[in-house]
Structure 1
Amino acid sequence: MLFNLSLRIKLPLLGAALILVTALALSTSFLYQTWEAVRRDTFKNLNDLGQTMSRALFPALLHDDIWRAYETVSLPFKDSESAQAESLIVLDAKRRVFASSHPEKHPVLSELASLGADFATLDRDIAAHPEDQILTVERDSATHLFIVIPIESDTIRLGSLIVSYDNAWIRQRFIEFIERAAWITLLILAVLLPINWYWGRRMVAPLQEVTDRLSQISGGEPPPLDPKLYPYNDEVGALYLAYGQLVEEMKEKIVLKREVVKHERMAAVGRLTASIAHEINNPLGGLLNAVSTLKRYGSADPLNQKTISLLERGLTQIKETVAALLVEAKITSRQLTPHDLEDVRVLVSPGAHAQNTRLLWKTALSAAVPLPSTPIRQLLINLTLNAIQAAGNDGQVEVNLHAGETELQIVVENDGEGLSPAVRERLFEPFAQVSEHGNGLGLWVCYQIVTQLDGSIRAESAGPLTRFVVTLPLSESSER
């Protein structure tokens, strides 16, 4: 059906139909008015001609001068090839032909009724019509139009003048008007229809763009629209603006959803690892005590001592890993001071010097802030050492710390290799190793610390530059 077609087709078609209907209505009205004007002008011209001729014919009839009457009625047909009347017939008082512009068709002294069916009907109309009035005879079935004008003076009527007109001439003239109107209409349509088709598709194209993008919403984040495609402030422009707002809101919701899923996953992993670590800690402590006792009181055999030392180092490594999984920020600790930051700088500097990494330390902490110093120190050490390892030889690490009125911001960036989107997606999960160094717990510990302090941490990577941004709120509740 027409109404189920695409607007790209339907709108131009409806516009074309409207143009055609309008053109047809205007043409019909114009032709009707033209037809009426042609008939009106024809009647007026014939009537004026007849009255002029009737006054000139009175002396000829008065003196019974047939030749003079013939010359008078023949005069209009001599100088013009487009005479309005077909013929002029002069009748005497007995309705016989006295003179005619075409005597071969209308012989002198012929009875009017004998000239043909139309003239026979006209003869009866003249007989029934008042003698002193002009008679106009027009019938749809007749081939001729007649105007009968009395030839009289001072109420003395000598005869009548019949102005005969062929209806085919009116039709021919009207057909000429129709042809001209048709060509003009076709010319107008040839101009308007392509314009209508162009503007119809031009108006629908922006709507099609919106429709195509809305259909992609179910697949994820909808693609944005180029505002240059429709830079106007009408209803379609408002639709573009609303679509842009929808895209921005969906982006925010998608990001929020990812963060919620990520936080839930991290919380679940944290609870699982913490419970496992607690279960491991008890037997692990017993094993270390047993190894220590065996090392002190056992056999002094070098092979036994070597084996015991190997066991002790392995169990110690397990203990350190478990300790990392049991990180707690909510511990009793003094507030963070500028001395803590200086201690961290001293602790991480040897690692930077060892691989010739340039360390830029920019901290703007002039007084203590209400944050626990121990987890913040651990957080800052982990982020800085990771950055130094990522920067590599001859790299650069920059640490910025700024305390505002409501929050503390820590920014640690390096110019080593960038992080891929896949790595950033699971960056803060336990054992998600970014490099070949470490066990993948450092960033997870940082995430746990930040989360327990009601802050946020994010990683940004553009080219070789990687940046970690930590934001921690400053409040009385932050003081542990």
Structure 2
Amino acid sequence: MRLFDLSLQFKMPLWGGGLIIATALALSTSFVIQTWDSLHQEIHKNAQDIGRTMARSLFPVMLHDEVWQAFEIVSLPFAAIPSAALAESLMVLDSAARVYVSSRPEDHPVLSPLASLGGELAELDRAFPRAPDADVFVLDNGQGQHIYVTLPIVNDGVRLGTLVVAYNKSLLWQRFTNLLGNALWVTLLVLGVLLPISAYWGRRMMQPMRLITERISRIGSNEFEALDASLYPYKDEVGQLFSAYADMRSKLMEKAELEKEMIKSERMAAVGRLTASIAHEINNPLGGMLNAISTLKRFGSPDPVMQKTVSLLERGLSQVRDTVAALLVEAKVKSRPLSPTDLEDVRILVNHAARKHATQLSWDIALPEAVTLPSTLVRQVLINLLLNAITAAGQGGQVALRVHTDAHGVSMVIQNNGKSLSPAQLGRLFEPFTQFSDNGNGLGLWICYQIVTQLGGTIQAESDSVLTRFSVCFPLNSSETP
């Protein structure tokens, strides 16, 4: 796997850590360069300070050829001036470039030509300027062990000699490595603090992104999982992405619910058309068969066996006729407007079944006056739903009816505390011949659905571990008493 294909929860800390390390290396490199330059500048300044201090003292001493006093002068900085500790030795040359006096006479004998001392000093003899107006000269051979700084001893344009300050590179490197070590420890300390912070914030920033990615990847399987807004309560781009996902989830859920309702409506309409066409096709021969049986009973043989057989056929065909009639639900019947008295009648009609099952009925009716709904059909819907609820609640159960009106229509809610319905049962609840109990023919809820939809209303069912609830809404603005 390529680096750029890694998850952002890994790439963000890696990129952040890489930038921190690169920044630390750049700063450390800059510090090293500045430190090295500062040490060189410190050497030059140290040499100039020593030269200017001693030049005035050495000129009269050399003028009077007082060698011992000159030796005391060049030896004094190593004991009296702490900053001179950078220098390894001081040496005074006369005008002929011979050693006049040195802080280390054992290494630089008096009156020894500088060139005779060999090595780096011979190279210095060839390189340093001897003019009276010469400036400070520095010899720093990359292969050598010392850095030499020469300063002319001049007064009133007369040059009596040259002061040579020698610095050992090992002391310079020792100081440089000490400073470099301190800088390295500080850099590691900063990295030790910043890298964990970068890793934490990288994961903290990418966790919401990872959750949104997981949720979006599961949308195709119709899983619309919500995201806890407290995971990222901020209003930046990630927070806006959280809000956009919540809006998208809400709209997709509405779309899925709408599609579900459309499919259900189309399925119910198709079933309705199919059952109606079948019922019509059955009714024609069924009517003829019932007429033939009626004629046979009236004019046929009085034989008891035949009469009994004919009666059995008539009852069976009558039951078929009733079933077919149930499949041809029509809301176009003459009926008066629905009034509070009709709801009281419904209560009286279902009381017998409620007492039989010891069911506790709860009645909450807010219907102040008659409304433009066909009372016969609405009563049929309520009776079917209430009887189903009493049966579902079981022995000693509870059933509640709540009816109220507003400017838009009449709402009715029937609920019971019986056994809950599964999602599969809820999906096929209003289809004909769908039985969820041993009693009935599975047409009661189908009839309710047909009546409600033909009156322009809606009927819905929901069930959980506590209650099963049927909600019916009848519009008043489009409903008229037939």
Give the TM-score normalised by structure 2.
0.93
How many residue pairs match? The answer is 479
**Counterpart of 2:332?**
330
Q: Matched residues in 1 for 2:457 and 2:272: separation? A: 17
Tell me the alpha carbon deviations over residues 80-103 of structure 1, each in whole angstroms, 9 at most, x when there is no partner.
697222221122222211111111
**Counterpart of 2:189?**
187
**Counterpart of 2:389?**
387
The verdict on how the C-alpha distance between 1:360 and 1:302 changes in structure 2, with shifts beyond 3 A counting, is: farther
**Counterpart of 2:443?**
441
Q: Matched residues in 1 for 2:113 and 2:393: separation? A: 128
Q: Is the 8 Å Cα contact of residues 221 and 251 (structure 1) preserved in structure 2?
A: no
Q: Matched residues in 1 for 2:415 and 2:160: separation? A: 125
Q: Is the 8 Å Cα contact of residues 94 and 161 (structure 2) preserved in structure 1?
A: yes
The verdict on how the C-alpha distance between 1:365 and 1:194 changes in structure 2, with shifts beyond 3 A counting, is: closer
**2:260 counterpart of 1:258:** yes
Equivalent residue runs for 1:52-451 within 5 Å: 52-78=53-79, 83-126=85-128, 128-141=129-142, 142-451=144-453
Q: Is the 8 Å Cα contact of residues 77 and 84 (structure 2) preserved in structure 1?
A: no
Q: Matched residues in 1 for 2:305 and 2:116: separation? A: 157
Deviation at 1:108, TM superposition (A): 1.2
Which consecutive unaligned segments of at least 5 residues does structure 2 have?
none
The verdict on how the C-alpha distance between 1:114 and 1:431 changes in structure 2, with shifts beyond 3 A counting, is: same
Q: Is the 8 Å Cα contact of residues 338 and 375 (structure 2) preserved in structure 1?
A: yes
Q: Is the 8 Å Cα contact of residues 450 and 456 (structure 1) preserved in structure 2?
A: yes
The verdict on how the C-alpha distance between 1:427 and 1:105 changes in structure 2, with shifts beyond 3 A counting, is: same
Among 459, 469, 482, which residue is 1:457 paired with? 459
Q: Matched residues in 1 for 2:478 and 2:198: separation? A: 70
Q: Is the 8 Å Cα contact of residues 132 and 157 (structure 2) preserved in structure 1?
A: no
Q: Is the 8 Å Cα contact of residues 89 and 99 (structure 1) preserved in structure 2?
A: yes
Tell me the alpha carbon deviations over residues 169-216 of structure 1, each in whole angstroms, 9 at most, x when there is no partner.
323322222122112212221222222222212221211111111111
Deviation at 1:414, TM superposition (A): 2.3
Q: Is the 8 Å Cα contact of residues 456 and 479 (structure 2) preserved in structure 1?
A: no
Deviation at 1:352, TM superposition (A): 2.5
Q: Matched residues in 2 for 1:158 and 1:22: separation? A: 53
Tell me the alpha carbon deviations over residues 313-348 of structure 1, each in whole angstroms, 9 at most, x when there is no partner.
111111110010000113343322333333333333
**Counterpart of 1:40?**
41
Q: Is the 8 Å Cα contact of residues 46 and 84 (structure 1) preserved in structure 2?
A: no
Q: Matched residues in 1 for 2:155 and 2:393: separation? A: 127
Q: Report the aligned-residue RMSD.
A: 2.1
How much identity, in percent, do the aligned residues show? 56
409-418 or 141-150: bigger deviation: 141-150
Tell me the alpha carbon deviations over residues 271-330 of structure 1, each in whole angstroms, 9 at most, x when there is no partner.
000000011111111111222222222222322222122111111111110010000113
Give the TM-score normalised by structure 1.
0.93
Q: Which amino acid aligns with 1:18?
A: L
Q: Matched residues in 1 for 2:146 and 2:310: separation? A: 138
**Counterpart of 1:5?**
6
Which consecutive unaligned segments of at least 5 residues does structure 1 have?
none
User: What SS does the corresponding residue of 2:86 show, helix, strand or coil?
Assistant: coil
The verdict on how the C-alpha distance between 1:362 and 1:198 changes in structure 2, with shifts beyond 3 A counting, is: closer
User: What SS does the corresponding residue of 1:463 show, helix, strand or coil?
Assistant: coil
Q: Matched residues in 2 for 1:124 and 1:389: separation? A: 122
Q: Which amino acid aligns with 1:23?
A: A
Deviation at 1:223, TM superposition (A): 1.6
4+ residue runs over 4 A deviation = 78-82
149-158 or 21-30: bigger deviation: 149-158
Q: Matched residues in 2 for 1:252 and 1:242: separation? A: 15
Deviation at 1:68, TM superposition (A): 1.9
Q: Matched residues in 2 for 1:363 and 1:86: separation? A: 111
